[in-house]
Amino acid sequence: MTAPSSSAAREWRTYPMLPIAAALGYASSIIHIYGLSPYIEPIAKSFDWSRTQVTIGLTVATIIQALFAVPIGMAVDRFGPRRLGLIGVLLACAAFAFIGFADGGETNWAMHWAIMAVAVLPVQATIWASAVASRFSAARGLALAVTLSGASAAQALFPWLGTVLINQYGWQKAMAVQAAIWVVVAWPIIFLFFRGAQDRRKNDDTSPEHNQSALSGVSVAEGMRSTVYLRLWFASMLFTFTILGLNVHFVLILQGEGFPKLGAAGIASLIGLSSIAGRLGTGLLLDRFRGSLVGAAAFLLPAIACLVLVTSGSSQVGAMGAAVLIGLTLGAEVDVIVYLTTRHFGLRHFGTLYGGLLVALSLGTAFGPLAASRIYDLYGTYDPFLWGCLGLLAASSLALASLPQPPAGEKKL
């Protein structure tokens, strides 16, 4: 039998660029989420809106994404991820640029975000994770971590890039320029290197026997009836509600404490940078230890960040520490959910089953930033939201900690 380390090395030698291409694709899927933060204030001033009115566009988009998450997962299982990904990156960037043409009417704003939602359907995490999981088994945790580090790169780059472009062009032109830059960076690499086992071709070096084994797993009905699936769903929704609320509003939270815009954006970039370490570290831990416990521990880190933010005031050290703690977990949550889904339910219907979990992730994304905006508009501070996050984070951590061992493939502590 081949040693696990040898199998992992062989997987990386065979598909070294696949996780990197998938990471760029995954970053494209969240350009409107992680890239929104620097645009909130200038849009609100331009249209004389509250922050709630601005971020409700994100709520509209993610609700639509939630409605179509399962059908998109089924499409991945049926047609393979490559075609969806190649088309989706172009559509997502075009839709982000199109938001800059909004005229200040609330119906018009909702329409632009509805278009954004439809455009990003073909680039949801399901597409990128399914291709990578189909090629990697022994090194799956680390390979998925590299893939999902696309979000880390997005968090590190998009707020800073948006701030710079807004200062130079204004927020409307900045959206188009940011979208064009990302197409030039990401699409050629995805075209050259992104292909999963589902995307069969004549000269594919993966045997039919290997594909059949790699894509084994439970039926959709068996998976969705499982209490494990329900706990994953619950943990996904609660955690995403808190972490996306913190992430989207982090620059504004710091500005409320007296930090200048560019200084706050610079500190916020630490979230993306530390999330790279968080994702890669989580991936290594998932390949070695029990994934549910790794996830449960990681899901508690933002609670410490919330305490720091409400108690440290305008301390730069405190703000930087909170950014790092949020980043370390932002680099873990989707990785953990994807990894546990593949280990508990297999890959045969991964797209559909993860699509169901993506509904929970989308709902959290839809209402977390909106709740933070509403709380700020009511109280003039984000502190009540930060305190409320503590209980939600504890509940999501407990849901993961209660999971049993998967049928096979994970090591015990």
Quick one: pLDDT at residue 171? Answer: 94
Quick one: pLDDT at residue 413? Answer: 35
- Which residues 6+ apart lie within 8 Å of 155 measured at CB? 34, 247, 268, 269, 271, 272, 275, 327, 330
Highest average pLDDT, of 16-20, 151-155, 265-269, comes from 16-20
Looking at the predicted structure, is the pLDDT value of residue 234 above 80?
A: yes
Looking at the predicted structure, is the pLDDT value of residue 34 above 70?
A: yes
Distance CA 94, CA 176 (A): 8
Sequence spans of domains, the chain: 10-199+206-401
Q: How far is CA 314 from the centre of its chain?
A: 29
Which stretch of 52-61, 158-167, 186-195 has the lowest confidence by average pLDDT?
52-61
Looking at the predicted structure, is the pLDDT value of residue 2 above 70?
A: no
How is 243-283 classified by DSSP, letter by letter?
HHHHHHHHHHHHHHTT--HHHHHHHHHHHHHHHHHHHHHHH
Mean pLDDT of 7-26: 91
Specify the CATH number for 10-199+206-401; select among 1.20.1250.20, 1.10.10.10, 3.30.300.30, 1.10.1040.10: 1.20.1250.20
Looking at the predicted structure, is the pLDDT value of residue 45 above 70?
A: yes
Distance CA 30, CA 150 (A): 9
How is 309-335 classified by DSSP, letter by letter?
HHHSTT-HHHHHHHHHHHHHHHTTHHH
Looking at the predicted structure, is the pLDDT value of residue 12 above 50?
A: yes
Looking at the predicted structure, is the pLDDT value of residue 217 above 50?
A: yes
Quick one: pLDDT at residue 155? Answer: 75
Token look-up 């370490």 returns 277
Quick one: pLDDT at residue 215? Answer: 61
Mean pLDDT of 109-117: 92
Mind listing the pLDDT tens digit for each residue in 349-385?
Answer: 888 888 888 888 878 877 888 899 889 888 888 989 9
Mean pLDDT of 314-320: 86
Quick one: pLDDT at residue 20? Answer: 94
Quick one: pLDDT at residue 331? Answer: 63
Mean pLDDT over each residue of the chain, to the nearest integer: 85
| CA distances (Å), origin 154, targets 30, 117, 148, 215 | 8, 18, 10, 30
Highest average pLDDT, of 1-5, 344-348, 390-394, comes from 390-394
